[in-house]
Amino acid sequence: MELHQLEYLVAVADEGSFTRAAASLHVSQPAVSAQIRKLERELGEVLLDRSAAGVRPTAVGEAVLAEARAAVAAVARIRDTVAAHRGLLQGRVRLGVIGNGLSPDLADLLAAFARAHPGVEVSVSEGRGAELLDALLGGRTDLAIVGIVGDPPAGIATETLSDEVVVAAVGPHDPLADRGEVTLAELAGRPLIAMPVGSGLRAGVDAALAAAGVTPRIAYEAGTPAALGELAVRGLGVALVPESVVPSVDGLVALALRPPLHGRVDLAWPASRSVAPAARALLAHLRSGLRNRDDPLLSER
């Protein structure tokens, strides 16, 4: 078993194609196919299911892939550590971000980091909170900025960048509009407007409603808190949104939730494996630049 075989396996699994994997690795497609077949013969198992629809890991392939990712990442960290001791910070850092686009604050910080460390390649991908946390745990991402309500999953370390109260928001003519506050139990049967499943805010809302014995009636879902507010102000239901969203939607009325509910934006990294020097440098840079900002990074939680 050789390291490049494991690198090829990871690339094919990530790309879902031998051709795309070969292009990303800058080698020929037959070379990738031959090395994967050689690895499968050595292990005595088929690792990849090849079909017209694409290439996917088999059950045993999924198990091997997790170890392959860890081995490839460990070797990369060794190389980067040696380079760091020579005074050269290099490597690649994969940053996951929730939202529909980078905020100016985050873009400025990434630009400053690139100027300070030209040998480090930073790639940024967007996704929902659950997807990003899963990518962290699976070794597909090095750092993430995620929306979290409650405790992070085991194996994830976090630092809070912003912490905000979640409110129930309604239109001005809603029966609840003059209440000032509402209990979670009183939302039973009301049409609710919430973030999609997989977002940190939705996970926290669902958990809080379940703890209150409420089976939610989700009438509408939208990708940003502001969009939830726009639906609510038109009388379509009760939106569960961060408090800062309310002033941005004309006519929207905020009701305090009882018991209270908080949503956070956290900087997250894997606690269960070592962080490479380049990722540690970016982590420190983001900590310094983003901590306690009044404006949350992103429009999606």
Tens digit of each residue's pLDDT, the chain (301 residues): 888 899 899 889 888 889 998 998 889 999 999 999 999 999 999 999 988 778 999 999 999 988 888 888 888 778 777 766 666 678 889 999 986 545 778 889 999 999 988 888 999 988 888 888 888 888 888 999 988 777 788 889 988 887 889 999 999 999 999 999 999 999 998 999 998 887 878 888 888 899 899 999 999 999 888 999 999 999 999 999 999 889 999 999 999 999 998 888 889 998 877 778 888 889 989 988 876 444 433 333 3
Domain boundary among 67, 88, 109: 88
Rounded Cα distance, 177 and 174, in Å: 5
- Is residue 271 assigned to a domain? no
pLDDT value at residue 161: 83
Looking up residue 3, the CATH number of its domain turns out to be 1.10.10.10
Q: Is residue 6 part of a domain?
A: yes
- Looking at residue 294, what is its pLDDT? 45
Q: What is residue 83's predicted lDDT score, i.e. its pLDDT?
A: 67
Give the chain's domain count.
2
Flag whether 137 is in a domain. no
Asked if residue 120 belongs to a domain, the reply is no
Assess contact for 242 and 263: CB atoms under 8 A. Answer: yes
Q: Does any domain span residue 299?
A: no
Choose among 111, 94, 99, 101: nearest CA to 289: 111
Last residue of a domain, one of 88, 114, 132: 88
Chosen domain end from 54, 72, 88: 88
Domain ranges, residue 57 = 1-88
Smallest Cα–Cα separation from 32: which of 44, 72, 40?
A: 40
Radius of gyration (Cα) for the chain, nearest Å?
A: 23
Compute, in degrees rounded to 10, the torsion defined by CA atoms 269, 274, 278, 282. 20
Q: Do both 256 and 171 map to the same domain?
A: yes
The H-or-E segment that residue 65 falls in is helix 59-85
Q: Does residue 168 sit in the same domain as residue 256? A: yes
State the Cα–Cα distance between residues 33 and 84, nearest whole angstrom: 34
CB 212 within 8 A of CB 183: yes
User: Tokens representing 89?
Assistant: 């910070």
Q: Tell the burial category of 241 from Cβ atoms under 10 Å away from its Cβ (0-12, 13-18, 19+).
A: buried
Tokens of 262: 């908080």
Closest CA to 90 of 226, 282, 229: 282
Residue 11 lies in a domain: yes
